Chain A
Amino acid sequence: MHDKTLAELARGLAAGQWSSRDITTALLDRIERLDPALNSFITVTGDQALQDAEAADEARARGQAGILAGVPLAYKDIFCTEGVRTSCGSRMLDNFIAPYNATVIDKLRQAGTVSLGKTNMDEFAMGSSNENSHYGPVKNPWDHSLVPGGSSGGSAAAVAAGLVPAALGTDTGGSIRQPAAFCGITGLKPTYGRVSRYGMVAYASSLDQGGPLARTAEDCAWLLNVMAGHDARDSTSVSRSVPDYTSELDKPLDGLRIGLPREYFGEGLDEGVASAIRDAIRVYESLGASVIDVSLPHTELAIPTYYVIAPAEASSNLSRYDGVRFGHRCENPETLEDLYKRSRAEGFGEEVKRRILIGTHTLSEGFFDAYYRKAQQVRRLIRQDFLDAFQQVDVLMGPAAPTPAFPLGETADPVQMYLQDIYTIAINLAGIPGISVPAGFVGHRPVGLQILAPHFAEAHLLNVAHAFQQATDWHQRRPDVDSPDPR
């Protein structure tokens, strides 16, 4: 049962092949057995999951179950879940029991899905390897010596290992697409504003976007149908009707124009990754697509732009953690300033402090114009590159990351680590949707093909990704996690 996609599980539930309790019990057993080695969960909510599974089964028996009722999911520990610890991977929120649900959690609960728990993540979603969690690193199910990617690495690893058919993640600079690529699964970052950010712990508010990680584009479409839509409680969510994302999945690709940004195939790209991506493009050509060489001339400026804007927004968002109203408080503070400074020093990890410091510095008097204003201007140029490219092509394709998953502990230099996001970060600055789909291997390490589409073209993006998964079997490959020592 753990090898099934979310859609297969839902169809089996509808056909009476199994109950939600059957699935939930099987997956909770699997989590108990396999997760101590993977560390993909921070909190497992087994009792609540079984209650919800039974409620879903009863609703189905009464003929009142929707299509996703009884399907198990897991949530990145960045989504507030009422009555459950929501730590955001940080010591700062280790004791935080969320008093309300994020909007997407409410929507998925109303659809009858069953939450198995909260997945591990880089602290406050800051990282490209999932090594920055207060709860320790997550291991890549394909090889426990490798990182799963960050910051939604717990969600990606849990799906890849068959602990849950799908999970939610968030993507500020690639944090859904890069771990999906490293773990050999499918991860969708929707258009900025398409999915409510209410109740999602904020990192960089103009970049953060929640989305699904699953085995297939079809599963992502099913989940996006529930997750997408305007939310009056999130002023950045977009008031725009939600299409049925499954309706276009099977449309033929005849006439599809694929743009290959030449900047995504240059220096720094692993040869094996490049080869897998070129093979994937040939699959699309065999399906009737044509390939056009395009340029995104400001690509190299995306990382410097991001590392001004994201830390600036983070330094503001994380100022709420002051030890007064919730979260970690230091012992025996002597003054209010001592309370603030020591609570924050003890609660935050090294990477979070680094980004708070850089953000505070670039926003401070005398530096604002040189850094923040300049970065916002370059951000417009980066966005314009994509708008220009989409005048010529329907979608853009390239690698999700320059290398496959790398060894845990390999990259201690923060700037080197930041370069991991070279192909994903500009997409968040521009606000367009992107998806990573399994597209081959370098040795035993999965490779992700990244597909990008214009704002709000998720239905087309999912159609293009689904077509690839109908023509290939990369998304059906599974790591041997039942082996006592995978690789």
Chain B
Amino acid sequence: MAIEHEDVRRAAHLAMLGLDEREAERYVTDLSRILEMVDRLQEVDTEGVAPLAHPLDTTQPLRADEVIEPNRRDALQACAPAVTDGLYLVPRVVE
């Protein structure tokens, strides 16, 4: 499946990744080549083959819904770009 400039712009927006026009154009070429390689999968007959999400073919175990971690808010927020009163600060988006 071919990929076009607009597809790259759309993926970049969905991924919240800023791209200028020149970069987007370069990625059209790269991604087209990668998808061309990946398209070989379409030739494989997978009728009746169940998808394999976990390499050991097991399901994710469930655990009890219990609090097991102590509150380490101060330590975890020590590496934040901006914090005040225990809250992460982001730009104002509503005037």
Contacts and interface: CB of A to CB of B under 8 A. Distances in A.
Task: Classify the interface of chain A: helix, strand, loop or mixed.
Answer: helix
Given A307-B38, A360-B14, A361-B11, A99 B75 contact: yes
Given A308-B41, A336-B91, A414-B34, A99 B15 contact: no
Interface residues of A, number: 74
B86 interface: no
A206 B12 contact: no
A356 B11 CA distance: 9
Interface stretch (A21-29, A63-71, A258-266, A367-375): A367-375
B63 A304 contact: no
Nearest to A237: B61
Task: Classify the interface of chain B: helix, strand, loop or mixed.
Answer: loop
A380 B17 contact: no
Given A353-B27, A354-B27, A333 B37 contact: no
A99 B38 contact: no
A308 B37 CA distance: 10
Contacts of A232: 63
A338 B78 contact: no
B65 to A, nearest CB: 14
A323 B82 CA distance: 10
A97 interface: yes
Interface stretch (A31-39, A268-276, A342-350, A467-475): A342-350
B37 A357 contact: no
B67 interface: no
A460 interface: no
A204 to B, nearest CB: 11
A358 interface: yes
Given A193-B56, A339-B91, A364-B11, A377 B50 contact: yes
A381 interface: yes
Nearest to B24: A357
A376 B53 CA distance: 6
B39 to A, nearest CB: 8
Interface of B: 1, 3, 7-8, 10-12, 14-19, 23, 27, 30-31, 33-35, 37-42, 44, 46, 49-57, 60-61, 63, 72, 75-82, 88, 90-91, 93
